[in-house]
Structure 1
Amino acid sequence: MTTSPTRPLPATQLRVPTDEDAHAWHRAFDDPDVMEFLGGPAELSLYEEFTARQRLHDARLGYCLWTVLDEEGAVIGFTGAQPWPREDWGPIGEIEIGWRLARPAWGRGYAHAAALATLERVREAGVPHVVAMIDARNARSVAVAERLGMTLAEEFTSPRGNPGLRYALDLRTR
């Protein structure tokens, strides 16, 4: 895992999502570019349920998909970890890390910086390894996973028929 010596990682803050963050996420992700590999923009009610579920994860597990704040304290997305949410396919029983940022935050190092903080927090919570499930066409997310030191563990086809990649990282050896 290396970072460019000419561009330090930006400062980010992670917090447990609030009710208000559902609205901020809805605004930030109501963009076809952001949702290109995720099935398109979603309704506010999805983010309300999603933030509530993340608060439960944090209370029960000590980690969740946290709200990411930039240097000025503005909500720019989320990153974190949660148990794989599906029971019908994928890495059932695994802890998945993930990130999603508003389009204006892309290309500035926020995803990498916030994901590094996530890895530290889940390691402290006793998680031995994590996976990242990424649409194979999403070069930006693939680059973040590789910068984190994750290795390609599997290529698959998602239930929607899209090519996917499962990256993995053993946190005991990092």
Structure 2
Amino acid sequence: MKRPLPVVRLRVPTDEDAVAWHRIFDDPDVMEFHGGRAAELSVYEELTARQRRHDAEHGFCLWTVVDESGQVVGFTGAQPWPGDWGPKGEIEIGWRLGRAHWGRGYVTAAARQTLERVRGAGVAEVVAMVDARNARSIAVTERLGMRLAEVFTIPSSEQRGHCYRLDLHQRQNPDTTQSNRMSQSAT
């Protein structure tokens, strides 16, 4: 039996969210696939300011994820892929949660809201760039109905990475897609 996803709210990040992100991401487990350690507070302050501008201009950004009690649990959202390698200029969805919030469905719930908001902003397709060792994020891409499109080498680490894609105009309900896969494999 599938458990219901938690209720989450996405909001444009505030100045206070920079402090919350810095605090909850200051954990080697959280940062394992993001350089190993949390950035300085000033990096999160600049990031939240940039996300506010991006949301105002494009209708999407990296939003703060807030749980039912109003606690900041992480971020999720979308922005153009910034690298000179990979899907340059394409819209990437991504997420990061504080360690205390892993395994509860927050990322899946928030990422589904992200897909709807990005589609509403006129984006036709998204990618998710995931370190090949990051089983948790790979599982989220699968729950979202994304498909593995490319395997690549991450230039900064020489690790393998995966590029997942999702056509937002062809997107099915992920629960229906999973049921269809299970039905097909049973026949």
TM-score bracket relative to the smaller structure: over 0.9
Question: How far apart are 1:39 and its partner, in Å?
Answer: 0.2
Q: Distance in 1 between matches of 2:51 and 2:2?
A: 35
The answer for the alignment partner of 1:66 in structure 2 is 63
Greater share of helix:
2
The 3-state SS of whatever aligns with 1:122 is: helix
In the superposition, the TM-score normalised over structure 2's length comes to 0.89
Q: Which has the higher contact order (CA 8 A, sep 6+)?
A: 1
The 3-state SS of whatever aligns with 2:74 is: strand
Q: Distance in 2 between matches of 1:12 and 1:78?
A: 11
The answer for the alignment partner of 2:118 in structure 1 is 122
Instruction: Write the letter of the residue equivalent to 1:78.
Output: F
Question: How far apart are 1:162 and its partner, in Å?
Answer: 1.3
Instruction: Write the letter of the residue equivalent to 2:5.
Output: L
Is 2:108 aligned against 1:112? yes
* Equivalent in 37, 42, 45 of residue 45 of structure 1: 42
* Structure 1: 4+ residue segments shifted above 4 A: none
Deviations 1:45-81 (A, max 9, x none): 1101111111111011000000000110100000010
Is 2:37 aligned against 1:35? no
Residue identity over aligned pairs, in percent, reads 73
Deviations 1:13-66 (A, max 9, x none): 000000110000000100000000110221111101111111111011000000
The 3-state SS of whatever aligns with 2:140 is: helix
The 3-state SS of whatever aligns with 1:24 is: helix
Alignment of 1:1-174 (within 5 A): 5-40=1-36, 41-86=38-83, 88-160=84-156, 161-174=158-171
Unmatched 5+ stretches in structure 1: none
RMSD, aligned CA: 0.7
Unmatched 5+ stretches in structure 2: 172-187
In the superposition, the TM-score normalised over structure 1's length comes to 0.95
The answer for the alignment partner of 2:183 in structure 1 is none
Question: How far apart are 1:6 and its partner, in Å?
Answer: 3.5
Question: How far apart are 1:93 and its partner, in Å?
Answer: 1.5
The 3-state SS of whatever aligns with 1:80 is: strand
Q: Distance in 1 between matches of 2:68 and 2:87?
A: 34
